[in-house]
Structure 1
């Protein structure tokens, strides 16, 4: 993370933004603030993108590119949203699913998720990649607001939602407890909550997916990407090395690379290691979504190497 904010750069123009839908677990977390408070945060699509660009002529816009299947992205968006909403309209936030909105990610030249970029007068301002603490986010946001003033972008705008709409149905208590724990960075508590939910209801699909998400985050939170990749390249038949790279690839949005790596490992190995790799691959399938086309394609490749 840099200590000073760069000047806006010329925006990319790589064609129209493509829309797609991806099943999300509890997608209302970001767009529905607690206690029906006003929110200056929204998820954008092709129709809303020009509106967001227009808003950046009035106030700076934070664009968070991540994945609803990545606990790290969900956690970061929660922190960003709390800081943005505290500014009461002097800055707004747009969330983008970088996996399904790949054209947006390419236009912003995003190579990993989560990545955060700002817009001022329609021009992108790089901010940071990966996770960040609240204090770091607040410091960068203050720099961004100062940069906006320098470029004549220093107004305020009305919230995207005012709390007047009917509230979403509440989540089951254990699911809510797990999500609160994730936002607080207490992944062990989140794991316990999801386990209790599954004990109460063994066919709770959302709890099973949530448990896999939390375990993925726990496995990757302290890992160094360069070191993990180097170990994986040096040890192609080491089970733990290949599992670690696959985990990092899913968190970083390189889903097909992760799947291909584990399918290839399974095809080269037999016995207990093969079964462990297969079980991890199935776990990653659930995180990405069983109906995702990448999962469907990978399952076909897995069947060929298994049978």
Structure 2
């Protein structure tokens, strides 16, 4: 994933767009990457609904993609691919499709330097993600990494599916499950031990709660890596490849850094070359990382196949 410094950090200035709300376009109105929008988690952003979309980022992330089919057709393809992939993540983020030709004032308000540009907005604040057009498979991997970073920060809210391309009534708000609030609040305050304890309560009460299991697994990764020096950890792992604890620690750090495949591959190799208690420890640790990422993730599915091959 390409990341570059954002030249104008800070909260989005909505002053240029403050005006009485206008009637929302119908769901079939032209706009966005593909007319009315083909995903329940993508919305065509206009000057009328821009502020509402940004306000939705207060509880779940919004990814704004700025594109122009006339000036740069490939940027339109990026918008289409983001719209397509948004459904796979089931509300972990909302894709806002901004056609800068149709809505130039939005581009001006955001002070967009060039297209394409994808910006993540959380709590009303923008963070740049990419300025390049990626093949859809690479884009899927990049989005998986982004969602993992959100989870590591305690951001686990979801958007409700949208039937049209434009947000509707005020009731169409992002869903925040209050069960996860204590753990998320603890993560936000940097109290990782409390977050682990809160997630553990949820898992104990309902072992089938996938969100709680993933939250607990990721909180434990954060707990294990607190205060760890990355360079020292890598040096220790390189110096003693048979030290399972050293290898699992680097795998944790790789996961947090977005290098998911590297984390999985490292532990698969540990499983392959060890036996007995060491193999069990490495396998169980890897299963915990699978849970942190999400068992339906393609990288996890591939990792499980590699683990099965290493075991048998």
Normalising by the residue count of structure 1, what TM-score does the alignment of the two structures yield?
0.55
Give the deviation of 1:216 after TM superposition: 0.6
Q: Return the match for 2:289 from 281, 284, 291.
A: 284
C-alpha distance in 2 between matches for 1:231 and 1:303: 27
Identify if the C-alpha distance between structure 1 residues 105 and 305 changes in structure 2 by more than 3 Å, giving closer, same or farther. closer
Q: Return the match for 2:173 from 167, 187, 190.
A: 167
Match of 2:190 in 1: 185
Identify if the C-alpha distance between structure 1 residues 190 and 303 changes in structure 2 by more than 3 Å, giving closer, same or farther. same
Q: Does 1:269 align with 2:280?
A: no
Q: Is the 8 A contact 2:182 2:195 kept in 1?
A: yes
Q: Is the 8 A contact 1:198 1:204 kept in 2?
A: yes
1:83-121: CA deviation from partner (whole Å, max 9, x where unpaired): xx4xxxxxx515759998845999xxx9xx969xxxxxx
SS in 1 for 2:272: helix
C-alpha distance in 2 between matches for 1:60 and 1:221: 37
Q: Does 1:43 align with 2:63?
A: yes
How do residues 109-258 of structure 1 correspond to structure 2 at under 5 angstroms? Answer: 164-173=170-179, 175-258=180-263
C-alpha distance in 2 between matches for 1:167 and 1:6: 28
Match of 2:109 in 1: 58
SS in 2 for 1:43: strand
Give the deviation of 1:200 after TM superposition: 2.0
Give the deviation of 1:252 after TM superposition: 0.8
Give the deviation of 1:163 after TM superposition: 9.1
Identify if the C-alpha distance between structure 1 residues 304 and 31 changes in structure 2 by more than 3 Å, giving closer, same or farther. same
Identify if the C-alpha distance between structure 1 residues 104 and 258 changes in structure 2 by more than 3 Å, giving closer, same or farther. closer
Q: Is the 8 A contact 1:190 1:214 kept in 2?
A: yes
Q: Does 1:33 align with 2:55?
A: no
Identify if the C-alpha distance between structure 1 residues 177 and 166 changes in structure 2 by more than 3 Å, giving closer, same or farther. same
Consecutive unaligned residues of structure 1, counting only runs of 5 or more, are 9-20, 22-29, 67-76, 86-91, 116-129, 132-159
1:120-173: CA deviation from partner (whole Å, max 9, x where unpaired): xxxxxxxxxx99xxxxxxxxxxxxxxxxxxxxxxxxxxxx98993433444143
Consecutive unaligned residues of structure 2, counting only runs of 5 or more, are 9-38, 40-54, 66-77, 80-95, 154-165
Normalising by the residue count of structure 2, what TM-score does the alignment of the two structures yield?
0.54
Q: Return the match for 1:93 from 123, 126, 144.
A: 126
User: Is 225-234 or 249-258 further displaced after alignment?
Assistant: 225-234
Q: Is the 8 A contact 2:203 2:209 kept in 1?
A: yes
Identify if the C-alpha distance between structure 1 residues 33 and 203 changes in structure 2 by more than 3 Å, giving closer, same or farther. same
What RMSD, in angstroms, separates the aligned Cα atoms of the two structures? 4.3
SS in 2 for 1:249: helix
Q: Is the 8 A contact 2:119 2:126 kept in 1?
A: no
Q: Is the 8 A contact 2:199 2:213 kept in 1?
A: yes
Give the deviation of 1:58 after TM superposition: 3.3
Give the deviation of 1:274 after TM superposition: 0.8
Give the deviation of 1:181 after TM superposition: 1.2
C-alpha distance in 2 between matches for 1:261 and 1:231: 14
C-alpha distance in 1 between matches for 2:234 and 2:218: 21
